Amino acid sequence: MNLSWDKNKRRISGIFPHIPLLFFTLIALFPIVLIVINSFKERKAIFRTPYLLPTAETFSFKGYITLFERANFELYFLNSFIVVAASMFFILLFGAMAAFALAEYDFPGNPILGLYLAIGIMIPIRLGTVSILRLVVSLGLINTLTALIMVYIAQGLPMTIFILTQFMKSAPRELKDAARVDGASEYRIFWLIVPLVRPALATVAIFTMVPIWNDLWFPLILANGEKTKTVTLGTQVFLGQFVIDWNAVLSSLTLAMVPVLILYLIFSKNLIRNITAGSVK
Amino acid sequence: MDKTPVKPRKKFPFHIFVFLAPAVIIYSLFMVYPLLDSLRLSFFSEIDGKEIFAGFSNYNRLLNDPNWKPRFWGAVKNNSIFFVIHMLVQNPLGLALAALISMKSVKGRDLYRAFFFLPSILSFVIVGFVWQLILSPLWGIGEGIMGFLRLGEYFKPWLGLEGSALITLSLISVWQFIGIPMMLLYASLIGIPDELIEAARIDGANNWKIFWGIKFPIILPTVGMVGILTFVGNFNAFDLIYTTQGALAGPNFSTDLMGTLFYRTFFGQQLQLGNPTMGATVAAMMFLIILIGVLLYMFGWQRRITTYDL
């Protein structure tokens, strides 16, 4: 009697947390799902049956066709891809190199340099925009992807160096010492250590990649020409012009969301594990 | 973890220079130099393409000139409201969700976590437009849902009304970013050793008491970190407002934040030319606000709270 009462109680208390959690899941996902399903419908169905999945009669690619006829979305994707890939590559490479030096060598000014590089974690780079624009103009880089890449590298480095330094410090000493005894150069030792901090690199990659892909501010200011538009800026401009074309609006939103969502689904498990791993050290 | 780095060489180590140079050069050139140069510009005026030292006159103009004063203080006020709504809604809700999914008995936590975090990886542009569509009376989604809940008569085009636009945008931003405090707090909640919780349970403490008496004090440093991250992010916000309300942050500047004021000042708007030095002045004020926030956090909060070594 007493036992089964206890069991019931436990079952009820096991269900209880799911009520708010499911409710919140609905709130988090509903807007996204709504946009995606309606982007595959014809105009009438968008308004008549917004909550239903597209059916054979209501299915339509019209919005996507408009999109590719009227805007250079292929180009925007290519631009975003180049900017994100190049920035990430240099953020991770230069960040890992600097973190290695800060973690490995006791040179005069090490703590001060670490602090100098960490200031950028708290101070948003946007506040220097007036001078960044002047600098970019004077270097002849206005309306180029290079300008965006340079700014994003600078933006991504502080956090990357800060996190990687912590991880580099915990790399096993024996490995480095053994390599040094064998006469390996310091550069060689760096490349031995890099694979050991791979999980940290993955986390840093996601954390710096998402804001770069999503940024509107710098593309708007440094590279707003048709040839250098990123997906985020392209979508923003396109949406401004096609407000009345619901098919096109919904399709462009879906198209801008989907690549990020796919990446997220691929990496989320890893990402979440790495965030939580940091605390269970 | 080893705290004493090795000293492999005595002479000036060239490889250290090689390791550090690329990061330090790019960071200094594209981040530190622009920030300092921007601060310098805020003390100059540009007349006929020439920079002339102007002392504090830009600041004086921003704070006292009848054209600038209402815009500046309006943006400060709106930005403070924006921040307070995040602190009152986003962070407590994020904590509640983190507490729920960190419970041992809850199944499917990986999925929940992934779902709650999902909106925060989308761009403001998308999020702004999605919500604009949902709240649009034309599509009628918002109205339809309110009607379903028998609240249809209370529906209004909130984004277009002076009294509700800022609150609506704040809540949209909360919707987008709630996953970040949730994730950070969750990570520190699951770092608490089980023995501690079990010991309290044996002493007869219930979940509620365990949370507020044991878990919350332990994760307090993370709570503070969430607070300062929210502060810096909020006082730097721009994209969401620009996307949904335009650079003029309407209706009637009711959604104007420091970021939109900065953009308008720097680049101009329909009737007004852009003014880089005044733009730099607005940026300098943002810098000051963020700096005060960070210093308060470092010296007013971090120094006072106890950190538990687990």
Higher pLDDT: A7 or A135? It is: A135
Cα angle B303, B304, B307; round to 5: 80
Backbone conformation region of residue B150, classed left if phi is above 0, alpha if psi is from -120 to 50, else beta: left
End-to-end CA distance of chain B: 16
**Contact check, Cβ <8 Å, A261/B118:** yes
Q: What gap in Å lies between CA A73 and CA A55, rounded to an integer?
A: 27
Q: Give B211 to chain A, closest Cα distance, Å.
A: 15
Structure tokens at B263: 């953009």
**Contact check, Cβ <8 Å, B133/A135:** no
Q: What gap in Å lies between CA A136 and CA A52, rounded to an integer?
A: 49
CB count within 10 Å of CB A176 equals: 19
Q: Which of A50, A106, A210 sits opposite B5 (nearest CB)?
A: A106
- Does A5 score more than 60 pLDDT? no
pLDDT of residue B5: 55
Higher pLDDT: A10 or B96? It is: B96
Q: Give A279 to chain B, closest Cα distance, Å.
A: 6
Higher pLDDT: A6 or B164? It is: B164
CA count, 13 A, side-chain hemisphere, A122: 20
Place of tokens 């220097």: A128
- Does A170 score more than 80 pLDDT? yes
Amino acid at B246: G
- The DSSP secondary-structure symbol of B208 reads H
- The DSSP secondary-structure symbol of B94 reads H
pLDDT of residue A189: 92
Q: Across all residues in chain A, what is the average pLDDT?
A: 86
Kindly indicate the confidence band of residue A280, based on its pLDDT and cuts at 50, 70 and 90.
very low
Q: Give A62 to chain B, closest Cα distance, Å.
A: 18
Q: Give B237 to chain A, closest Cα distance, Å.
A: 10
Q: What gap in Å lies between CA B249 and CA B254, rounded to an integer?
A: 7
- Does A36 score more than 80 pLDDT? yes
Higher pLDDT: A195 or A1? It is: A195
Mean pLDDT for each consecutive 10-residue tract of chain B (310 residues)? Answer: 50 86 96 95 88 92 93 96 97 94 83 88 88 86 82 83 93 94 90 87 88 91 92 93 88 94 88 87 95 91 76
Higher pLDDT: B286 or A242? It is: B286
Q: What is the CATH number of domain B59-302?
A: 1.10.3720.10
Closest residue by Cα to residue A131 from B152, B213, B10, B284: B284
Amino acid at A184: A
What confidence tens digit (pLDDT) does each residue in A67-84 have? 888 878 889 999 999 999
- Does A144 score more than 90 pLDDT? yes
A interface mutation test: which of B6, B35, B100 has the most A CBs within 10 A?
B35
Kindly indicate the confidence band of residue A128, based on its pLDDT and cuts at 50, 70 and 90.
very high
The domain limits of chain A are 2-63, 71-241
CATH 1.10.3720.10 fits A71-241, yes or no: yes
Higher pLDDT: A171 or B28? It is: B28
Q: For residue A17, what are the CA distances in angstroms to A12, A33, A73, B178, B206?
A: 9, 24, 43, 18, 15
Say whether pTM exceeds 0.90. Answer: no
The domain limits of chain B are 59-302
Percentage, residues of chain A above pLDDT 90: 40
**Contact check, Cβ <8 Å, B123/A150:** no
Determine what percent of chain B falls in helix, strand and coil, rounding each to the nearest 5.
70, 5, 25
Q: Which of A107, A150, A280 sits opposite B30 (nearest CB)?
A: A150
Closest residue by Cα to residue B240 from B79, B73, B31: B79
**Contact check, Cβ <8 Å, A106/B287:** no
Q: Is B81 strand, coil or helix?
A: helix
A10-39 mean pLDDT? 86
Q: Which of B19, B110, B276 sits opposite A130 (nearest CB)?
A: B276
Q: For residue B155, what are the CA distances in angstroms to A48, B106, B135, B146, B241?
A: 19, 36, 9, 7, 22
Beta bridge mates, A214:
none
pLDDT of residue B301: 85
Closest residue by Cα to residue A156 from A197, A121, A112, A195: A121
Q: For residue A205, what are the CA distances in angstroms to A85, A199, A273, B110, B284?
A: 10, 10, 14, 21, 30
**Contact check, Cβ <8 Å, A122/B32:** no
A254-261 mean pLDDT? 84
pLDDT of residue B144: 82
- Does A8 score more than 80 pLDDT? no
pLDDT of residue A247: 86
pLDDT of residue B9: 47
Structure tokens at B90: 């986003």
Contacts of B112 (CB under 8 A, 6+ apart): A21, A25, B97, B101, B106
